[in-house]
Amino acid sequence: MRASRALWLLSGVLPWAAALYENGSVVAPCDSPIYCYGDLLREIELARPFADSKTFVDLPTTRPLDEVLAAFDELEKPIQNNTALHDFLSDYFGQAGSELEAVPTDQLRTQPDFLDAVNSTEVADFVKEVIDIWPDLTRRYAGAGNCSDCVNSFIPVSRTFVVAGGRFREPYYWDSFWIIEGLLRTKGSFTQIAENIIENFLDFVQDFGFVPNGARRYYLNRSQPPLLTQMVRVYVEYTQNYTLLERALPLLKAEYDFWVKNRTVTLERGGKNYTLNHYAVSNTQPRPESYYEDYVTANNQSYYNEAGEIFNATDPLTEAQIETLYSNLASGAESGWDYTSRWLANPNDAVTDTFFPLRSLNTANILPIDLNSILYYNEITLAAFHTRTGNASAAQAWSARATARSEAMYALLWDQEHYSYFDYNLTSGAKNIYVVADNSSVPADLSGAPEGHQVAFSPAQFYPFWTGAAPAALKADPSAVKRVYGRVEALLDDRAGAIAASNLKTGQQWDEPNVWPPLEYIIIQGLLNVPVSSSSSSATNAETDYVQTQSLALKFAQRYLDSTFCTWQATAAIAASTNSTEGGKSGGIMFEKYSDTSIDAAGGGGEYEVVEGFGWSNGVLIWIADVFGERLKTPSCSDGESKGAGKRRKRSAVEIDAWDGKWVKRFAS
């Protein structure tokens, strides 16, 4: 298998190329008439047999494909959400995710030695319980079902892996970076599983030329933030076993080439050409796993808002506009930030809830700080790998790419006046410095914007300090870093919880008040990267500034610990009072996202219910427990005062309860 894969790579013929489906104006992620395009998919998804559109495309068939299609033809049209549909579904399809199986937990060992350095017993016990969730999230592919022509949407992988949790039943691309940070520290069986996850993704690069968003065929048209090179880096650095590089290096180069060939924008500014990257998926269909939502966003004549008001669109979208919108929806999913005010031309539609929140998506016209920072990191990392393998000229070429990108980012994305990076907007030909203001309070140093606007904030602005894409004059000078971080430090003091994805409340997931674990990691690691010695004129000040950046990193880390710990306690208390057997041993739950309004609330909003589990939340917690160890304090969950909650009302466990209805319903039943 290895050998034939290598052959495909050499000949440039991808074995799955036929999976991408193009027919006239239809461009779909794969050629499956069940999982990727066509009447069956459209009619069933629009009938909404399940609350989550993703459920249907995750059902494996239990009969051969042609029998399923023939039976569908027999159904009365238009398809309704009735007994006939549900009978069809149960006669021809199995359970969502049944092509995967759990790995018996007695085959999985953990050996988290780093916990010895965590001297708060409560924190150590909590992190240990979270580590014990990994076996429950470990899966392997069980096979294609019970008949030779049965089909499913899973992209087979040959090695054991860890899922994110909940509706995310398959391996996900960028999630896996933080999952691996956690697995490496969990040790035992999980060092090998961390490598397996990487090798599965390397197989994807061999088979498809890039890493899809996740291991489902309906994701074959798009990728996600390209962190595979960084997964390899943390793996080899942590294990000090560099053997993996032999297989990985050519494939990491191939993945990089995909981003260069398929996601590049060159623009001339001030007599110079700059090359940067964007998220841009070639696609003219609704995303199969969010079919209904995308279809409505593009085709509804009237917008029905939460309050029951109806807003009519002045003009329906043209076919061309609909296709562009589908492409921008898929591109937003590719960015990992699905969705955010960062990609919305008219975020006010969402803020005021007076029009389709996502109809103004402009994803492909944004050059994002985070994507370009990651690609910088990949270039620098590949330079270092080549230095290690003794290929000096390749190392030099990769360094040159990194330098050019850092310069392009500084020229186009950095704003000296606001002392921050901003996304570049190709539509306006300028940085997106301002965004509409909502009613949430903005710390004073974020003001100075035109009437009705505020200076855009998002943790994406700190990616250049995580990956090193900022020039040395910024990233290596503790006082400059302190100044850049002034804005996010103000938010930490203003909010009870950790740092949200933006400073605009839109109801979208990647906006205020939602706190995303990976973004906390990036903010913290950016500070940890500040070097001790500095070229700054006053050595004593530099040392003080350095110490302050490091204690700020600890403050962010402690706040994330407080959020996960106190939410865990709150959910454990509910579990105890309802005799629930869900969650960890104590009934506590780790969520996919948190809230910046309190330290004991999960996040919400967006296209689906908040998900528990949860891969990257666990990974970031474990990383913090290892990196900050004995400096972490036992969180005091009822005492909001010391955590800046004085300025904002805290939400209690009971309120989480009412607020996240679905989750509590499960507990109550």
Ligand X SMILES: *[C@@H]1O[C@H](CO)[C@@H](O)[C@H](O)[C@H]1NC(C)=O
How far is Cα 506 from Cα 509, in angstroms, rounded to an integer? 8
User: What is the separation of C-alpha 278 from the centre of its chain, rounded to a whole number of angstroms?
Assistant: 16
Contacts of 628 (CB under 8 A, 6+ apart): 554, 557, 558
- Per-residue binding string, ligand X, 132-161, x by CB under 6 A, is -------------xx---------------
Q: Could you count the other beta carbons within 10 Å of the beta carbon of residue 241?
A: 12
When binding is defined by CB under 6 A, the residue of 27, 100, 131, 179 that contacts ligand X is: 27
When binding is defined by CB under 6 A, the residue of 8, 9, 65, 94 that contacts ligand X is: 94
For this structure, is 592 an active site residue?
A: yes
Applying CB under 6 A, the site for ligand X has a residue count of 55
How far is Cα 550 from Cα 540, in angstroms, rounded to an integer? 16
First-residue to last-residue Cα distance in the chain: 48
When binding is defined by CB under 6 A, the residue of 178, 291, 303, 546 that contacts ligand X is: 303
| Site for ligand X contains 647 (CB under 6 A) | no
For this structure, is 338 an active site residue?
A: yes
Nearest CA among 375, 374, 469, 411 for reference residue 273: 411
- For residues 209 and 584, which CB has a smaller minimum distance to ligand X in the complex? 209
- For residues 147 and 539, which CB has a smaller minimum distance to ligand X in the complex? 147
Strands (E), 498-625: 514-515, 594-595
How far is Cα 113 from Cα 209, in angstroms, rounded to an integer? 38
Restricting to residues 204-223, which ones interact with ligand X according to CB under 6 A? 209-210, 220-222
Name the DSSP class of 669. Answer: -
When binding is defined by CB under 6 A, the residue of 55, 111, 275, 282 that contacts ligand X is: 282
| Site for ligand X contains 80 (CB under 6 A) | no
- For residues 91 and 445, which CB has a smaller minimum distance to ligand X in the complex? 91
Amino acid (1-letter code) at residue 405: R
Nearest CA among 600, 587, 584 for reference residue 660: 600
Which position among 592, 600, 612, 660 bears the catalytic label? 592
The nearest distance, CB 540 to ligand X, in angstroms, is 26
- Per-residue binding string, ligand X, 327-346, x by CB under 6 A, is ----------------xxx-
**Region near ligand X per CB under 6 A, out of 16-24, 132-140, 498-506, 543-551:** 16-24
Which tokens go with 437? 């203001």
Instruction: Please report where in the chains the tokens 């490496």 appear, as a residue.
Output: 184
| Site for ligand X contains 296 (CB under 6 A) | yes
Name the DSSP class of 104. Answer: P
130 with 621: CB under 8 angstroms? yes
Which position among 31, 52, 199, 338 bears the catalytic label? 338
Three-class secondary structure assignment of 325-384: HHHHHHHHHHCCCCCCHHHECCHHHHHHCCCCCCCCECHHHEECHHHHHHHHHHHHHHHH
When binding is defined by CB under 6 A, the residue of 90, 107, 241, 389 that contacts ligand X is: 241
**Region near ligand X per CB under 6 A, out of 155-163, 240-248, 438-446, 473-481:** 240-248
- For residues 133 and 382, which CB has a smaller minimum distance to ligand X in the complex? 382
When binding is defined by CB under 6 A, the residue of 87, 630, 639, 641 that contacts ligand X is: 630
Nearest CA among 384, 390, 328 for reference residue 361: 328
Amino acid (1-letter code) at residue 196: N
| Site for ligand X contains 119 (CB under 6 A) | yes
**Catalytic residue numbers?**
338, 592
- Please report, as ranges, the residues that interact with ligand X according to CB under 6 A: 20, 22-24, 27, 48-49, 51, 60, 62, 81, 94, 98-99, 119-120, 145-146, 195, 209-210, 220-222, 241, 243-244, 258, 261-262, 268, 271-273, 282-283, 296, 300-304, 312, 343-345, 362, 366, 425, 427-428, 432, 578-579, 630
